[in-house]
Amino acid sequence: MNQIDLNHRHAVVTGGAQGIGLSIAIRLLASGASVSLWDRDAELLSAVLKQLGENKLVSADTVDISDASCVAVATAATVERHGKIDILVANAGIAGPNHTTWEYPIDSWKQVIDINLVGVFLCCHAIVPHMLRQGYGRIVNVASIAGKEGNANASAYSASKAGVIALTKSLGKETARQNIAVNCITPAAARTRIFDQMTKEHIDFMLSRIPRGRFLEVDEASAMVAWLVSEENSFTTGAVFDLSGGRATY
C-alpha cells in the first residue's frame, strides 16, 4: 500500500459504515487522518466502531444526508469535536429499484434523487463554508459509471449520478482559487450491500459491461480517493476519475 500523507487532516465520510465508504475511512485512517463516519444506520455504525476498536481518531454520527437540518447539526458537531473539516468524501447512496422509466415508482425516484444527489449537495453546502474559512479543502463525490452512460432499468440512479458529476464540475470551478479541490470518481459496481437492492438480471448486466470481467474491489476505490484528498492533489479540480474497469467510453 502506498503511504499517502494525511497527518493532521480530518475527514468526513458519508455512508461510512459499510462498503466503499468504510474502505475509504480505513484507508484514510491508515494515512494518518482522523475520520468522522456519517451514516443513517446507527446499529451498523456501532458495530463498525467496535470493529475499529478504541480509536480516538474515529467518531460516528447518525446522519440522514437528505435532511438539511440533520446535515447542519452533524457538521456543527463534527467541527466542535475535531476543530475542523479538511476532507469530505460524499459517498452515501442507494441503488433504488429496477424498472423501466415509465414504470418507475415516483416515490422511489424522488428518494433516489434526494439521497444520491440532494444529499451530496447538502453536505457540500454545509461543509464548504468551513473549508473556505480555513483556506483548504479536498472533496471527492462518489458518482458512478451509470452517470456517464445511463443504465437501462436504473434511470433514477443514472440521473442522480449524472447530477453528481455536474455538481462536482460546478463546485470545482467555484472554489478553484481557494485551495479547495473538488473531484468525483465514477466506479463500476462493487459487490457491496447495495446489490441487495438490485435484481440478478441487472447485476449480470453490469458485470457483462466491464472489460476486466470482474467487479470493482472496494480497496481499489479507496486507493484512488486517498490521493485525491491529499495535499499532493494541488491542481486537479472539477474532474472525473474513472474506476470502471475499462467500461467508460469517455
184-211 pLDDT, tens digit per residue, is 999 987 776 666 666 788 788 778 878 8
3-state SS assignment for residue 145: coil
Residue 47 is predicted with a pLDDT of 94
Q: Locate the domains of the chain by residue range.
A: 10-243
Predicted pLDDT of residue 245:
84
What positions carry a catalytic annotation? Answer: 157
* Segment 50-55 mean pLDDT: 84
Cell numbers standing for residue 28: 484514510
- Average of per-residue pLDDT across 36-45: 96
**Eight-state DSSP code of residue 15:** T
Burial classification of residue 197, based on how many CB atoms lie within 10 Å of its CB (0-12 exposed, 13-18 middle, 19 or more buried): middle
Name the β-bridge partners of 89: 13, 140
pLDDT tens-digit profile of 142-179? 999 999 999 999 999 999 999 999 999 999 999 999 99
Find how far residue 248's CA is from the centre of its chain: 19
Closest among 63, 20, 55, 65 to 35, alpha carbons compared: 55
| Confidence (pLDDT) at 176 | 97
Share of the chain above pLDDT 70, in %: 97
Sheet strand arrangement including 87-90? 58-62, 34-39, 10-14, 87-90, 137-142, 180-187, 240-243
Cβ atoms within 10 Å of 81's Cβ, excluding its own: 12
**Structure confidence by residue, pLDDT tens digits, 103-151:** 999 999 999 999 999 999 999 999 999 999 999 999 999 999 999 999 9
- Would the pTM of this model clear 0.85, i.e. be above it? yes
CATH of range 10-243; options 3.30.930.10, 3.40.50.720, 3.10.330.20, 3.40.50.150: 3.40.50.720
pLDDT of residue 103: 98
Q: What does the pLDDT read at residue 195?
A: 64
CA–CA distance, 84 with 130 (Å, rounded to integer) = 7
Query: Is-contact 35 60, C-beta < 8 A?
Result: no
**Stretch (H or E) spanning 83:** none
Looking from the CA of 167 toward its CB, the CA atoms found within 13 Å total 25
pLDDT at 250: 73
Question: Is pLDDT of 213 > 90?
Answer: no
- Residue 192: which residues within 8 A CB-CB, separation 6 or more? 18, 19, 20, 218
Report residue 98 as a C-alpha cell.
429496477
Q: How far is Cα 77 from Cα 72, in angstroms, rounded to an integer?
A: 9
